[in-house]
């Protein structure tokens, strides 16, 4: 079959099976052997009962609270999950057992031989794929756009933990452990006109190209921000691509020059050992390109002339354009160049765990099954009422702060709370009724007072009863409809999230008649990718970050990620619901991608696809710092690639307004919001804002020590001159709200970092916590906040080459364009430097105090091994010195901070030094308020003139 049209830039011919045909034949029927315990499990009945529990709770028939709790000092756990069965320790014997179900379940946990396990059934919307409902302060939880869709249930193997009831799962298990092992879903028959939140998909031995084409098509039709970024009229000199439809007669394909503005696909992979020009990964990528309707493929090792240094360096500096300009990027996260892409051609993939169980037989039910009287509580939750009461005795609610977003806090809108009090007085109703009516108003999408006045007040008037009696009347009617005895009190009404007129549906029937087929959703591909060799390499970092669409091949399935969607082969999501309605998309609350790293306080996967504002300088710096952190945690085969492999990311964040990178460091060369030049202050801030990830010295002082090798072809004052993971001074847990932000009266319950204290009813001040890097850029480029930085000072510095032929004085409106030559080693000279008078750290006298140098709190980070004694002696004998680089007001905090670089002499002439660490010294808010200007602040610091300029190599 062939097709062509004038809208296509080239003729395209299908030479492979049509994409809607099965990629691989269905598995052959299997004979299932079960152990005695597994034969007694009626999993089909349990799945139906669990679905009834969750669906009934969503409809308000049951009051089920899915939250966190604990018993006494025991572990925190998730509550009210349907219990299926205990597995005990039999998974540890699964390898030697013929039982097919034991063998299948053993694959669903990372350590089957460790501890004992149980089987629980979860609601599909409560998996890690979706952000849990967040409770705004003491008010009702937010609704989610999938509340009105049909749900599903899945099984999971959960560890048994002392003091965690049968119906509980350990805290964070859904977010941290389930993604590693995968969920267990039942294969079900197709349903007409029904969208379920999650369904499983069988993954065959061959990649599903029809599904991949659907992903590409959906993104092209719905996601404007994912389109290739190619400014009109821009071309790349020396740009070449592989023509995937033209063989070169030598066992490969033709590589030819082609305008960058034309369509092409890119490849990202690990080179690995030498493997020739056309290794298996590239050959498989050629086939993927063809099967997905494209013709041209860009591969670095073949499309960049490695013998032309000038052209090579030019194209390396344009990696942002190359990857942003691709239709999509094929990523091999399953090996290196030799491995190939699993599921393509003859490259094998890891099989999907699967088990078939017979239904309707005595064997399936268990010949010795105990016949008991009906137990409605057991049918509802999986255990008897007595067991439930015994296991949850003494259980108390627990506030789990991490479920409330990336900054670990719950926002309390005091304005809303005041309004709630006003509404309770106006309608003479208690808090419980207010919350119920709020839900009703939300459901009908009506302002609360309009809903109350036009519906509830009027209805109460017509029925001749006070409004506050309507609530009990409603509960009594609901109970009578369900046949519930109300003589001992009324049942509590659950939170209804489903329209009352929406028909109830059962779970769909089994896909195979007479059989229950269970499949694993496999390890979460985001987790697989993070743990792959591809994710450890420096060069592949920017390739993933810069691409707008990524098609990732793992060992067992294919994963797609763009800026509005993340999907994979093993999980079927209702893609139609991902896009509409605008502003309430499921994608805003779903598990997002992994290629745009951020500064979340933990390593868990994130939610939502909202991009940060492109013109917010503070957010740009925050993201850029996060990219540097992630990039420097990866490996490079050649030291000289320390900067080259990051140039594409640097180019993405370079703006005409003034943001650029000098040897990898963010600098603002434009005007601040008060019209002053930003170069000197922003450069000084950046060179002393990064540190290496370090361990506590354990010496009772704020001394953190790393052991990082130097890259001597690059300067020590930049992170590119070192190996090791870089952290910028952006504390991850220290953001806060204050009155006036967002136009409301907002306080915050926060997970405060060490050294923080509450300094008023609505502000948390962070003492000794360094917030200033991204926040300083944000404040200084904001008309609203620039004047809050009332004191700033930086050393006078000059960048120059080794020969002294080119130099830039970093002051005023000077240009830093001469330093754009990345092949040169740029030196930094501090003119008329101020250095610490001494390095004598004072220990805390009482618990809770910080270590001080003279009167001020300090923290020291070192990039090289050094004890406190060596640090002090080095300053005494002149081998070390600590030079003041930057001092000023901390944005939004109003205390002060002085930043120093710790330098080590590299020769005996005191003319060449290298940066080996950083010292921060905090100045109290009270002291800052006394200083009339920046000069007073500097005069108060324990510094002295060094006597000569200091050059940092």
pLDDT mean for each 10 residues of the chain (953 residues): 37 40 51 89 94 86 82 92 96 94 96 96 92 56 73 97 96 92 95 91 96 94 89 90 96 96 97 92 98 97 92 92 97 97 96 91 40 60 88 80 37 59 91 81 83 91 89 73 58 57 83 94 95 95 95 98 92 80 67 70 68 75 89 92 92 91 94 95 96 80 89 95 89 32 30 36 42 86 91 95 87 75 85 92 54 73 93 93 96 89 86 94 90 95 94 96
Alpha-carbon distance 562 to 609, whole Å? 9
Alpha-carbon distance 296 to 294, whole Å? 6
Alpha-carbon distance 436 to 471, whole Å? 9
Q: Which residue has the tokens 């899945």?
A: 154
pLDDT at 154: 98
Compute CA distances 927 → 314, 763, 937, 938, whole Å. Answer: 51, 19, 9, 12
Phi-psi region of 823 (alpha: psi -120 to 50; beta: other; left: phi over 0): alpha
pLDDT at 146: 74
Say if residues 753 and 766 touch (Cβ distance below 8 Å). yes
Cis amide bond preceding 58, omega within 30 = no
Q: Which residue has the tokens 């010949």?
A: 367
Give the tens place of pLDDT for each residue, 243-274: 999 999 999 999 999 999 999 999 999 999 98
* The dihedral sign for the CA sequence 376, 382, 387, 388: negative
Phi-psi region of 279 (alpha: psi -120 to 50; beta: other; left: phi over 0): beta
Say if residues 474 and 493 touch (Cβ distance below 8 Å). yes
- The secondary element (H helix, E strand) that includes residue 186 is strand 184-186
Query: Within 10 Å of residue 599's Cβ, how many Cβ atoms?
Result: 19
E runs forming strands in 466-575: 515-520, 550-553, 558-561, 566-568, 571-572
pLDDT at 930: 93
Identify which of 717, 777, 728, 534 has the alpha carbon closest to the alpha carbon of residue 626.
728
- The secondary element (H helix, E strand) that includes residue 423 is helix 414-427
Identify which of 860, 902, 884 has the alpha carbon closest to the alpha carbon of residue 943.
884
Alpha-carbon distance 361 to 371, whole Å? 16
Alpha-carbon distance 650 to 666, whole Å? 9
| Strand bridging mode 703-705 / 856-862 | parallel
pTM score: 0.82
Alpha-carbon distance 561 to 547, whole Å? 10
Ramachandran angles phi, psi of 553, nearest 5°: -100, 115
Identify which of 414, 418, 404 has the alpha carbon closest to the alpha carbon of residue 735.
404
Compute CA distances 760 → 739, 764, 768, whole Å. Answer: 11, 7, 18
Alpha-carbon distance 193 to 206, whole Å? 29
* The dihedral sign for the CA sequence 32, 35, 38, 40: positive
For residue 632, the SS3 value is helix
431-443 vs 414-427: helix crossing angle, rounded to 10:
100
User: 276: Cβ–Cβ under 8 A, 6 or more apart, which residues?
Assistant: none
Return the bridge partners of 12, or none: 3
Q: Which residue has the tokens 């430097």?
A: 833
pLDDT at 844: 53
pLDDT at 161: 96
pLDDT at 603: 61
For residue 300, the SS3 value is helix
Alpha-carbon distance 49 to 42, whole Å? 11
User: 313: Cβ–Cβ under 8 A, 6 or more apart, which residues?
Assistant: 644, 823
Phi-psi region of 60 (alpha: psi -120 to 50; beta: other; left: phi over 0): left
How many residues can be counted in the chain? Answer: 953
């Amino acid at each position: 079959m062939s097709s062509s049209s004038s809208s296509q830039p080239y003729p395209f011919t299908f030479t492979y099976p049509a994409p809607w045909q099965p990629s691989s034949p269905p598995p052959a029927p299997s004979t299932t052997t079960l152990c005695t315990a597994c034969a007694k499990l009626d999993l089909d009945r349990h799945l139906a009962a669990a679905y009834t529990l969750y669906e009934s709770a969503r409809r308000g028939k049951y009051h089920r609270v899915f939250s966190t709790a604990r018993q006494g000092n025991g572990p925190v756990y998730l509550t009210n999950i349907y219990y299926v069965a205990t597995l005990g320790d039999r998974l540890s014997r699964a390898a030697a057992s013929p039982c097919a179900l034991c063998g299948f379940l053993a694959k669903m946990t990372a350590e089957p031989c460790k501890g004992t396990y149980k089987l629980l059934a979860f609601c599909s919307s409560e998996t890690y794929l979706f952000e849990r409902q967040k409770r705004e302060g003491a008010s009702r939880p937010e609704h989610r756009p999938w509340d009105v869709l049909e749900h599903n249930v899945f099984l999971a193997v959960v560890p048994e933990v002392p003091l965690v009831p049968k119906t509980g799962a350990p805290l964070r298990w859904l977010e941290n452990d389930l993604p590693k092992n995968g969920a267990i879903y039942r294969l079900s028959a197709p349903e007409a006109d029904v969208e379920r939140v999650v369904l499983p998909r069988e993954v065959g031995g061959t990649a599903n190209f029809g599904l991949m084409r659907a992903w590409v098509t959906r993104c092209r039709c719905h996601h404007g921000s994912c389109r290739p970024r190619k400014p009109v009229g821009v071309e790349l000199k020396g740009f070449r691509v592989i023509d995937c439809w033209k063989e070169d007669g030598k066992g490969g394909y033709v590589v030819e020059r082609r305008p960058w503005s034309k369509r092409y696909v890119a490849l990202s992979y690990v080179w690995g050992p030498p493997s020739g020009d056309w290794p298996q990964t590239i050959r498989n990528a050629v086939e993927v390109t063809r099967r997905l309707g494209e013709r041209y493929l860009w591969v670095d090792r073949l499309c960049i002339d490695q013998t032309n240094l000038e052209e090579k360096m030019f194209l390396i500096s344009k990696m942002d354009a190359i990857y942003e300009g691709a239709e999509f990027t094929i990523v091999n996260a399953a090996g290196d160049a030799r491995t190939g892409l699993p599921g393509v051609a003859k490259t094998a993939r890891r099989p999907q765990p699967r088990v078939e169980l017979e239904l309707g037989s005595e064997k399936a039910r268990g010949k010795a099954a105990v016949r008991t009287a009906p137990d409605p509580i057991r049918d509802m939750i999986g255990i008897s009422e007595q067991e439930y009461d015994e296991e949850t005795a003494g259980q108390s609610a627990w506030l789990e702060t991490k479920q409330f977003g990336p900054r670990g806090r719950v926002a309390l809108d005091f304005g809303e709370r005041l309004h709630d009090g006003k509404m309770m007085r106006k309608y003479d109703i208690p808090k419980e009724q207010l919350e119920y009516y709020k839900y009703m108003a939300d459901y009908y999408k009506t302002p609360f007072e309009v809903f109350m006045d036009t519906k509830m007040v009027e209805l109460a008037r017509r029925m001749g009863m006070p409004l506050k009696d309507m609530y009990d009347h409603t509960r009594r009617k609901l109970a009578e409809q369900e046949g519930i005895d109300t003589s001992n009190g009324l049942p509590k009404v659950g939170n209804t999230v489903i329209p009352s007129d929406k028909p109830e549906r059962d779970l769909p029937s089994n896909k195979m008649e007479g059989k229950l087929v269970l499949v694993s959703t496999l390890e979460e591909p985001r987790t697989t990718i993070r743990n792959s060799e591809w994710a450890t390499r420096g060069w592949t970092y920017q390739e993933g970050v810069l691409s707008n669409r990524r098609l990732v091949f793992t060992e067992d399935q294919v994963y797609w990620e763009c800026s509005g969607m993340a999907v994979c082969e093993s999980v079927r999501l209702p893609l139609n619901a991902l896009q509409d309605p605008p502003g309430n998309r499921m994608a805003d609350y779903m598990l997002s991608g992994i290629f745009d790293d951020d500064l979340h306080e933990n390593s868990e996967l994130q939610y939502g696809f909202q991009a940060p504002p492109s013109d917010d300088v503070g957010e740009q710096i925050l993201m850029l710092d996060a990219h540097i952190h992630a990039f420097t945690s990866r490996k490079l085969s050649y030291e000289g690639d320390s900067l080259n492999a990051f140039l594409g990311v640097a180019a993405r964040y370079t703006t005409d307004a003034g943001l650029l990178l000098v040897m990898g460091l963010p600098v603002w060369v434009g005007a601040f919001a008060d019209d002053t030049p930003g170069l000197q202050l922003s450069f000084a801030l950046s060179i002393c804002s990064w540190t290496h990830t370090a361990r506590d010295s354990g010496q009772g002082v704020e001394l953190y020590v790393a052991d990082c090798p130097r890259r001597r072809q690059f300067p020590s004052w930049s992170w590119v001159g070192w190996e090791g993971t870089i952290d910028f001074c952006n504390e991850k847990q220290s953001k806060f709200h204050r009155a006036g932000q967002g136009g409301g009266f907002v306080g915050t319950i926060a997970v405060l970092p060490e050294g923080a204290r509450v300094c008023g009813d609505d502000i948390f001040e962070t003492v000794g916590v360094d917030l200033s890097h991204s926040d300083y850029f944000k404040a200084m480029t904001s008309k609203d906040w620039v004047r809050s930085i009332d004191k700033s000072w930086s050393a006078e510095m000059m960048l120059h080459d080794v020969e002294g032929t080119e130099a830039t004085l970093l002051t005023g409106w000077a240009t830093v364009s001469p330093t754009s030559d990345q092949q040169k080693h740029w030196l930094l000279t501090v003119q008329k430097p101020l250095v610490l008078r001494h390095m004598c750290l004072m220990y805390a006298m009482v618990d809770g105090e910080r270590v001080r140098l003279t009167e001020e709190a300090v923290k020291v980070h070192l990039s090289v091994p050094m004890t406190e004694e060596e640090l002090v002696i080095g300053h005494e004998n002149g081998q070390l010195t600590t030079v003041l680089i930057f001092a000023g007001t901390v944005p939004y905090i109003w205390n002060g901070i002085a930043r120093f670089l710790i330098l080590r002499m590299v020769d005996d002439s005191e003319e060449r030094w290298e940066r080996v660490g950083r010292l921060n010294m905090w100045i109290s808010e009270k002291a800052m308020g006394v200083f009339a200007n920046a000069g007073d602040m500097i005069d108060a610091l324990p510094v002295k003139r060094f006597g000569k300029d200091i050059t940092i190599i």
